[in-house]
């Protein structure tokens, strides 16, 4: 009986620790736009969303924006490729976000999802 209780306790602790994992697979966002937006509207929506979320945005080439998020000693950089029909947010590099083997700290994914959500909101309001 003691062995069963001990085994259940070990399983419970391991399950709790697994639920507290700090890393997750890297989210790369690929969004297709169905509404009739211009390339300039998409670019402006991305830049506005970045400013709203305190991303540092800079043009990295034609139809490419480099975005950097800094939070204390954590940093992430993404490349955002865009056109009139869609955009993609792709992981570039990071510091202190436990990035390895296609995984990264969960905060990175939250930052990217929030940026994506704000871009979509900005595009929706510019279409009105």
**Most distant CA pair in the chain, distance:** 69
Q: How many CA atoms lie within 13 A of 123 on its CB side?
A: 25
What DSSP letter does each residue of 64-99 carry, written as one string? EEEEEEEETTEEEEEEEEEETTEEEEEEEEEESS--
> What is the value of pTM for the model shown?
0.82
CA 16 to chain centre: 25
Q: How many CB atoms lie within 10 A of CB 64?
A: 13
Report the distance separating Cα 30 and Cα 89, nearest Å.
7
Report the distance separating Cα 125 and Cα 102, nearest Å.
34
- What confidence tens digit (pLDDT) does each residue in 2-38 have? 776 575 555 555 544 444 578 999 999 999 998 789 9
- What confidence tens digit (pLDDT) does each residue in 43-91 have? 999 999 999 999 999 999 999 999 999 999 999 999 999 999 999 999 9
């Amino acid at each position: 009986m003691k062995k069963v209780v001990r085994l259940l306790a070990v399983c419970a602790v391991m399950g709790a620790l697994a639920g507290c994992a700090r890393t997750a697979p890297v989210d790369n966002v690929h969004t297709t736009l169905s509404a009739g937006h211009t390339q300039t509207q998409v670019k402006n929506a991305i830049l506005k969303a970045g400013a709203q979320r305190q991303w540092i945005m800079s043009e990295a080439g034609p139809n490419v924006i480099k975005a950097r998020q800094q939070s204390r000693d954590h940093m992430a950089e993404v490349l955002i490729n865009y056109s009139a029909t869609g955009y993609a947010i792709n992981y570039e590099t990071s510091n202190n976000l436990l990035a390895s083997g296609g995984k990264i700290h969960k905060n990175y994914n939250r930052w990217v999802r929030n940026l994506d959500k704000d871009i979509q909101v900005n595009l929706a309001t510019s279409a009105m």
